[in-house]
Amino acid sequence: MTVYQKYEPKPLKPQLLEMPGFSKKQIEEHYQLYLGYVNKTNEVRQKLETADRSTANATYSELRSLKLGEDYAWDGVKLHEWYFENLGGKGGAPTGHVASLIRRDFGSIERWEADFKATGLAFRGWAVLAYDMHDKCLHNYGSDAHDVGVIWCAMPLLVLDVYEHAYMIDYGIKRAAYIDAFLKNVDWEVVNHRLHEMPGAPPMSLE
């Protein structure tokens, strides 16, 4: 089993506290929630070092509980880090290589954006623009919780948190207005960087 190593949280980018459409309180509260997932990841992984493997059981066991907790907390850490990282930009239309791939795989930027927004309304946790290494295409995937509906071998490029905690303070139950505000603050440079850095990145020849 993995030897425990403490995971340190990523700092909050100061520009996220100045984003149009998002109050300081909304972002600060959301960041506190992220810190909770980091703490739980560390707590669970520490307990996993000494958990009883001899009683492992798929209905209930200490090991099962801890591993389920690890899936949920660690996916929560990753998704929130990607979410905060892909905010704080100028928003607007996608740029660069990712824009070319969106046009290729969705037909147009408008068709992608309509599908991305609708995905954000159709799921309870996350909407993710991802590059799927299996069919080598972009897709908008949805997920009801950090550890539910995860697609294997799909690299997240743009991550949108649609849990109520992400927008309730500023938008009440108006999720569509929150998604519009999110899209006005996307950092497309970060999205393009993810695309270029990932293993098996598609060739740039589409430009």
Catalog residues that contact Fe ion under the rule CB under 5 A: 161, 163, 166
Nearer to Fe ion, 4 or 163 (CB): 163
Least distance in angstroms from the C-beta of 46 to Fe ion: 24
Least distance in angstroms from the C-beta of 167 to Fe ion: 10
Nearer to Fe ion, 36 or 96 (CB): 36
CA atoms within 13 A on the CB side of 80: 27
Least distance in angstroms from the C-beta of 91 to Fe ion: 19
Least distance in angstroms from the C-beta of 203 to Fe ion: 34
Q: Which residue has the tokens 């950092």?
A: 187
Nearer to Fe ion, 106 or 182 (CB): 182
Nearer to Fe ion, 30 or 97 (CB): 30
SS (H, E, C) 65-110: HHHHHHHHHHHHHHHHHHHHHCECCCCCCCCHHHHHHHHHHHCCHH
Nearer to Fe ion, 143 or 192 (CB): 143
**Among all residues, whose Cβ is closest to Fe ion?**
161
Burial 100-121 (b: 16+ CB within 10 A, else e): bbbbebbeeeeebbebbbebbe
Least distance in angstroms from the C-beta of 146 to Fe ion: 9
